[in-house]
Amino acid sequence: MPIILPEEPTPIAKVPSTENKTGGWRTFRPIIDYEKCIRCYICWKFCPDTAIDFAAPEKHPAPKDALKRFDTVEINYDYCKGCGICANECPANAIELVLEQNVGGEEE
């Protein structure tokens, strides 16, 4: 009996997990208060979901003029699971956790 090999002998996972929008898991939504954010990137450093992106410096207000040359951060709500590590670690207390149902129909 001839041995039939599958077309692709080694199964290779080709679909990136970015297809999987884990934002729906969230109970609490972290919201950054840009008036307090000191752009230290500690939230980016500890995020287990790599859901914190950099954005252009002028995109958000800064508490001090000296900070305006640094990039700012944004939370990617498509993937943020709402664990709250960013809010707990933020040295400026600039991130607040808000119950998702209280957020209302604001920006998504």
Partner 1 sequence: MRKLTIPEEEYMLPGHTACLGCGATIAMRYVLKALGKKTILSIPACCWAVIPGVYPHRALDVPLLYTAFEVTGASISGIREALDVLGKEDVNVVGFAGDGGTADIGLQALSAAMERRHNVFYIMYDNEAYMNTGIQRSGSTPWGAWTTTTPGGKKRMFKHEPKKNVAEIMVAHNIPYVATATIAYPEDLIAKLRRAKEIKGPKFIQIFSPCPTGWRHSPDKTVEISRLAVQTNFFPLYEVINGKYKVSIKPKNPKPVKEFLKLQGRFRHLTEEEVEYIQHEIDENWKALLKKERCSQEE
Contact positions vs partner 1 (CB under 8 A): 11-22, 25, 39, 41, 44-46, 48-51, 54, 57, 69-71, 76, 78-79, 81-85, 87-89, 97
Cross-strand partners of 74: 53
Task: Please name the residue that has the structure tokens 């929008």.
Answer: 21
Cβ neighbors of 70 (< 8 A, separation 6 or more) are: 39, 57
CB of 33 to partner 1, least distance (A): 17
> Of 3 and 15, which has the nearer Cβ to partner 1?
15
Looking at residue 92, what DSSP letter applies?
A: T
**Structure tokens, 81:** 């699971």
CB of 1 to partner 1, least distance (A): 28
> Of 16 and 105, which has the nearer Cβ to partner 1?
16
